[in-house]
Amino acid sequence: MKGTNASTPAGFILLGFSDQPHLEMVLLLVVSIIYILTLMGNTAIILVSYFNSKLHTPMYFFLSNLSFLDLCFTTSVVPQMLWNLKGPDKTISYTGCVIQLYVALGLGSTECVLLTVMAYDRFNAICRPLHYGVIMHPKLLQQLAALAWISGFVGSTVQTILVFQLPLCSHHMVDDFTCEEPALIKIACVNTTFLENELSIASVLYVMIPLGLILVSYGCIVRSVLKIKSTEGRRKAFGTCGSHLIVVVLFFGTLASIYIQPKSKYTQNYSKFLTLFYTVVTPSLNPLIYTLRNKEAKWALRRLLGRDPS
C-alpha cells in the first residue's frame, strides 16, 4: 500500500483493460453498438406499453419500469466507459465517481426488488387467475413500483456514504471499468472488514432474499401449472413466465458472480468481463427476450413501426 490521502481526491483512474489497448479498441466498437441497441430496444418497450391499450396490464407496467431502469442504468455507466476506452485518459472526477456508484447501486438494487415484484405478479396471474384483477389493482401496482425504487436507493445511500468515508490510498487507481463498490474497497488503506461485512449484508438483502422469494414464487407456479391437464394450457402458462425467468437467471447470476466470488488476480480480470456483461449486455437483452417470446409485444412493436396496420 502506498499511504493514505486524508483529503478528498481530485478523481480516480479507472484501469479497465488499459494494459491491452487492442482489446480496448474492440470493446469500444462492441460496447457502442450494444449501447445503441439498448437505447432503441428499451425505448421501444416503453412506447409500445404506453401507446397500445392492449398492453395496459400489470406485466407491461412493470416491464416499462424495468426498461426505464435499464435505460438509466446503462446511461449512468456506459458513456464514461466509452470515453475511457477511446483514449489514454482513464480518469473520472471524484464527484462523478460518487454519482456513478450511487446511481448504479440504486438502480441495481431497484432491479432486484422489481424482478421480485414481477415474480409476484406472475404468481398471482397463474396461481390465482380468478382473483388476479382484484389483487393486482392499479394502486397496488404503483405502491409495488414505488417500493422497488425507494428501497433500492435507500440501500444505495447507505452503501455510498460508507464507501466514500474510507481513507483511500494515494494512487486512486480503481481496477475496473466503473466505480464498483468491491473495486473501491480494495484501494482503501484501512481495515475494511466492517465494510465487507456490510457488503455481505447488502448482498443478502438485495440479492439472496429477492432471489429466494422468486424461487418460492416459481415453485408455486410450477406446482399450479402441473395441475393443468391440457398440454396447451401448460405451454401457455409456462410461456408467460419464461421471459421473466430468463432475465432473472441472467441478472442474478451475473450479480452474484461479481459480489460473491472469491478475490484473486484471476477472478479480478474475470470480474471485469462480468462487469461488462452486467452493465452493458444484460440491459440490451431484456427487450429482445420479452419481445421474441411474447406475441402481444411483437404485434405491438410491428404496429408501432407501421408494419402491421391492423
Give pLDDT, residue 226. 85
Tell me the CATH number of domain 12-299, given options 3.40.50.300, 3.10.580.10, 2.20.25.10, 1.20.1070.10: 1.20.1070.10
Q: For residue 274, what pLDDT is reported?
A: 83
Give residue 229's pLDDT.
80
What's the confidence (pLDDT) of residue 10?
76
pLDDT reported for residue 2: 45
- The rounded average pLDDT for each run of 10 residues, N- to C-terminus, in the chain (310 residues) is 53 84 90 94 88 86 94 93 86 91 94 95 91 93 97 94 82 83 84 82 89 94 86 76 86 79 58 84 85 65 60
| Domain residue ranges in the chain | 12-299
Q: DSSP string of the chain?
A: ---EE-SPPSEEEE-TTTT-HHHHHHHHHHHHHHHHHHHHHHHHHHHHHHH-GGG-SHHHHHHHHHHHHHHHHHHHHHHHHHHHHHSS--EEEHHHHHHHHHHHHHHHHHHHHHHHHHHHHHHHHHHSGGGHHHHS-HHHHHHHHHHHHHHHHHHHHHHHHHHTTSPEETT-EESSSS--HHHHHHTBSS--HHHHHHHHHHHIIIIIHHHHHHHHHHHHHHHHHHT---HHHHHHHHHHHHHHHHHHHHHHHHHHHHHHSPP-HHHHHHHHHHHHIIIIIHHHHHHHHHHHT-HHHHHHHHHHTTS---
Q: Give the number of C-alpha atoms closer than 13 A to the C-alpha of residue 227, restricted to the C-beta side.
A: 8
